[in-house]
Structure 1
Amino acid sequence: MVSSSQKGLHTLLSANLKKLTITPPSASSPDFDFSEVFGPLTPHHNNSAQSPASTSSASAFLADPPVIYNRSHSFVGPSPRYTLSSSLPLQIQELENESLEIASESESEIISEKKIGPGDFEILRVVGQGAFGKVFQVRKKVDRDDINGGDSDGDGDGDGIYAMKVMRKETIIKKNHVDYMKAERDILTKVMHPFIVQLRYSFQTKSKLYLILDFINGGHLFFHLYRQGIFSEDQARIYTAEIVCAVAHLHKCGIVHRDLKPENILMDVDGHVMLTDFGLAKEIDESSRSNSMCGTTEYMAPEILLSKGHNKDADWWSVGILLYEMLTGQPPFTHANRQKLQQRIINEKVKLPPFLTGEAHSLLKGLLQKDPTRRLGSGPNGGDDIKRHKWFRSINWKKLEARELVPKFKPDVSGKDCTANFDRCWTTMPADDSPGTTPTAGEHFQGYTYVAPNPWLSSDDRKVHNQGEIKEK
């Protein structure tokens, strides 16, 4: 039997479909592709056997460029690599049977008619593990009564492959990271960009938080950089340009990422990069500064290490470190001792390898200015100043943001559920979302539930829809 609210939604959808006009795609103007991926932090590889014996001297650049080494972790986020046998069997176990958070009676009937929870997703395999829980590759179960066809990524093929990030409330509360987790969810609901992973759903049970994001099956940038050793300037240019576009968009939205690194950048099936992991991101006003000590040490700007307060300019330093690593195989400042590493970042000059072009040198010098007020991108024009740099002369920025500039390298992907580009130490783990041990009071995470707006609805209808889905008070 169909309820009155379902009839209303069907009527609304039918009315909008009648207004729909479909323009045949052309080679020069392809549609945006927001399909597939979110992933966990790629496990760190110990590559010392492959790396040159000396990396501290500038003379190391005269030989073959060094490759990625084992770096430190984010202060808030993923845990170190887990050593597991590749022979572990894949075991899919039943999800915990917990009650979802209950919407108030005053909220939209959409919630009471159709709630989203762990039972709506079939776990396929583990693709990562962090400090607060696991990241699973999942398939959304098809619901015949779902007006979206049971496949919210809109391709109609019923695959519905996503990444499900599961975090334990008890651990989050004990580590005093409630604000970080809430900020990650809130920021992801506000951002939509062709080079930023998209949040589809968020919900909670008595003991866990869940984020459902697009699954990007090309793997992490770190995974491909580790395999190749270094990228050519042409290859690095398009990746850096896409990262600059994404970061500039975040800054226009008043958001600072604060943990940019190859492990937090994914690659889709077409070779485009996607920013992910907003666990350390923060909304900061243009005139405000944050004094938090957070990030991954090798990528942290000097002003963060000096506790001088930081804002969006810190992200442009991290972009400079990213570019340096893509072109040389390692960050410019390295040391096994964290305190000595911090001193190097604060005091030492960046050594620019001679095999890079003068234009690459110029861009790196601009981004890696220790004084944030002199850093490229710190002015009133922000990322536009970076886009105008001569190293990006060959980039057509409008075509880039329309995903019309096709990267030469495409990851080897066999299908939407392919995990060949994720480390086997994750994908061979038992796929088990085990029951939470301790139910946690819900007051810490009020308003966590979210369903991405239906793309068929008009802007006014979306507003009403979202008020019903994510109303917080």
Structure 2
Amino acid sequence: MGAVSCRQRQHFRVPTPRKCGNIQGPLARGWKSLWCGVGTIRSGLEELWELQGHQEPLRPAPLLLEKTLSEWPVPQFISLFLPEFPMRPVRRQQQLKILGLVAKGSFGTVLKVLDCAQKAVFALKVVPKVKVLQRDTLRQCKEEVSIQRQINHPFIHSLGDSWQGKRHLFIMCSYYCTDLYSLWAAVGCFPEASVRLFAAELVLVLCYLHDLGIIHRDVKMENILLDDRGHLKLTDFGLSRHLPQGARAYTICGTLQYMGERAKDGG
């Protein structure tokens, strides 16, 4: 999932993704691209849209789940993302209320939402299906969820739920309002005792992941959240991979600002 930090940095992958020839029409952009297949999330976005001064008439698309899931085979635009992104009943989506925007990046939008049934706040990543297919990141998107489902560690940002709508994928995790970069920018130099604690917890997380054959590939301060007790929560497994013992990943990926000049040049 994308980091829940409001600070955005440039991400990239090499080689360049192939275009998917069976996708028709322009790529939906902005808040309006999130209306379709979201239950009451759509209504929340309409309210935010109006608050920002956009008064054009709103015509939400009809919800997808009008038939029971037993009426398979399902359309390809749904089956491609199964089983990592199952369909959810409309009533489950209607329990979510948007509280605000957390972050918006090249891979999707992260919203702060309230689950009215659980009376708990979550971070919800919303990714357009068209964008996943156009960028040829279907495998990576499904692996992100698959990896998060199999890991359980006190210093890892755990997955709450994942599902799909008519045009979007949804990944929901616990909400934390602070990340390590924002804290560093606010207070400046950390005390040595804090640095030791952060380093120890991060090493424990990485050792745990590596023992499972998982590489994160985008460890940075923006992807390290802090809970209310000040402990780390490593997040954003969007570039992570699960590799057999002894295998290697050869894709150059990560955040450009954190790379040395040789890595940027492909050297």
Q: Normalization by structure 1: what TM-score? A: 0.41
Which residue in the other structure is 1:91 paired with? 48
Q: CA deviation at 1:269?
A: 1.1
**Aligned residue runs from structure 1 range 197-216, under 5 A:** 197-216=157-176
Aligned to 1:40: 4
Q: Hey, what's the Cα distance between the residues in 2 that align with 1:239 and 1:105? A: 50
Determine the structure 2 residue equivalent to 1:389.
none
Letter in 1 for 2:229: D
1:297 is aligned to 2:256: yes
Q: For 2:88 and 2:136, locate their aligned partners in 1 and report how far apart those are by CA, in whole Å.
A: 35
Aligned to 2:95: 120
Distance 1:279 1:264 in 2: 11
Once the 2 structures are TM-superposed, how far is the Cα of residue 117 of structure 1 from its aligned partner? Answer: 4.5
Shift of 1:99: 1.8
The yes-or-no answer on 1:178 pairing with 2:142 is no
Alignment partner of 1:240 is 2:196: no
Give the Å deviation of 1:171. Answer: 1.1
Structure 2 vs 1, CA of residues 168 and 231 (structure 1 numbering), >3 Å: closer, same or farther? same
Q: Which has the higher strand share?
A: 2
Query: How does 1:63-74 map onto structure 2 within 5 Å?
Result: 73-74=10-11
SS of equivalent residue, structure 2 residue 254: coil
2:226 is aligned, of 239, 257, 267, to 267
Q: Does 1:138 align with 2:113?
A: yes
Match for 1:136: what amino acid? Answer: L
Change (3 A) 1:114 1:134: closer
3-state SS of paired residue (2:209): helix
Structure 1 position 246, deviation (Å): 1.2
Q: How do residues 47-62 of structure 1 correspond to structure 2 at under 5 angstroms?
A: none
Aligned 8 A contact 2:123 2:172 in 1? yes
CA distances 1:134-189 after superposition (whole Å, capped 9, x unpaired): 111111122xxxxxxxx2xxxxxxx2111110000111111111111111111111
SS of 2:193 mapped into structure 1:
helix
Which consecutive residues of structure 2, in runs of 5 or more, have no partner in the other structure?
14-46, 51-57, 73-85
What's the CA shift for 1:229?
Answer: 2.2
RMSD of the TM alignment (CA)? 3.3
Structure 2 partner of 1:284: 243
2:190 to 228, 231, 238: 231
Aligned-pair CA distance for 1:118 = 3.1
Quick one: structure 1 residues 96 and 198, their matched pair in 2 at CA, closer, same or farther if it must change by over 3 Å? farther
CA distance in 2, matches of 1:254, 1:139: 34
Larger radius of gyration: 1
**8 A contact 1:164–1:210 mirrored in 2:** yes
**Other-structure match for 2:122:** 162
**CA spacing shift, 1:293–1:235, aligned 2, 3 Å:** same
Do residues 75 (structure 1) and 12 (structure 2) align?
yes
- Shift in Å, 1:116: 6.8
Asked if the contact 1:38/1:163 (under 8 Å) is kept, the reply is no
Q: Aligned equivalents of 1:125 and 1:211: distance in 2? A: 16
Unpaired runs of 5+ in structure 1? 1-36, 45-71, 77-89, 143-150, 152-158, 306-337, 344-473
Letter in 2 for 1:267: L
